């Protein structure tokens, strides 16, 4: 059965994923350039570890958030569904958090700033509870677009910009 929103717009589907990571980018607790660097590194790690594919139920979703309400000792990073918060995250800590917690499932205790749940009573990590997910055609298209975007991020081509600059120069020359 398909559910529809008002005006006949179907409710979008969200492919299952493993964990959701939020990093504050508001700028009160750390310079935005530092958080931007962490987010960039998280995307790189996700690509290296195949955590980008929509069809991967252990996909890791990264969201740059506004202020997370701590506002000191940042950057602040939160991992859900675990409800584990980390502060003062730098690249070295991020590598540990990624390997030990996001891939390994074990929070890095000495870096934890706050927990929603007592250790061992975290919300269930969903992927082992799910059956294999089928991928609908639209999702496959979105996945292809995401892979292309990721490839472009890894290997940015200056051509489109230079093409636009050349076209703008030609227009200006034709006008004058």
**Residue numbers at the binding site for ligand FES (CB under 6 A):** 24, 26, 28-29, 67-71, 74, 76
> In whole angstroms, what is the distance from residue 137 CA to residue 143 CA?
10
Instruction: Provide, rounded to whole angstroms, the least separation between the CB of residue 116 and ligand FES.
Output: 16
- Given the complex with ligand FES, which of 34 and 51 has the nearer CB atom? 34
What torsion do the CA atoms of 123, 129, 131, 132 make, to the nearest 10 degrees?
A: 60
- Residue 131: CA count within 13 A, CB half-sphere: 1
- Given the complex with ligand FES, which of 74 and 107 has the nearer CB atom? 74
Q: Are 4 and 10 in contact (CB under 8 A)?
A: yes
Instruction: Provide, rounded to whole angstroms, the least separation between the CB of residue 64 and ligand FES.
Output: 11
Instruction: Provide, rounded to whole angstroms, the least separation between the CB of residue 130 and ligand FES.
Output: 32
- Given the complex with ligand FES, which of 28 and 152 has the nearer CB atom? 28
- Residue 130: CA count within 13 A, CB half-sphere: 15
- Given the complex with ligand FES, which of 72 and 138 has the nearer CB atom? 72
Instruction: Provide, rounded to whole angstroms, the least separation between the CB of residue 30 and ligand FES.
Output: 7
- The enclosing H or E element of 80 equals strand 77-80
């Amino acid at each position: 059965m398909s559910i529809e929103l008002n005006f006949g717009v179907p409710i979008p589907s969200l492919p299952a994923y493993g964990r959701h990571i939020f990093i504050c980018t508001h700028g009160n607790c750390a310079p935005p350039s530092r958080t931007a660097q962490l987010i960039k590194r998280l995307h790189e790690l996700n690509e290296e570890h195949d955590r980008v594919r929509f069809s991967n139920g252990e996909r890791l979703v990264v969201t740059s958030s506004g202020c997370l309400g701590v506002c000191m000792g940042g950057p602040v990073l939160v991992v859900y569904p675990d409800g584990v918060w980390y502060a003062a995250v730098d690249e070295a800590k991020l590598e540990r958090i990624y390997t030990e917690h996001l891939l390994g499932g074990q929070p890095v205790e000495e870096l934890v700033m706050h927990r929603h749940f007592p250790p061992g009573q975290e919300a269930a990590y969903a992927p082992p509870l799910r059956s294999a997910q089928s991928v609908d055609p639209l999702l496959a298209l979105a996945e292809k677009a995401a892979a292309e975007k990721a490839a472009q991020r890894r290997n940015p081509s200056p051509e489109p910009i230079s093409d636009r600059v050349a076209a703008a120069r030609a227009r200006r020359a034709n006008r004058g």
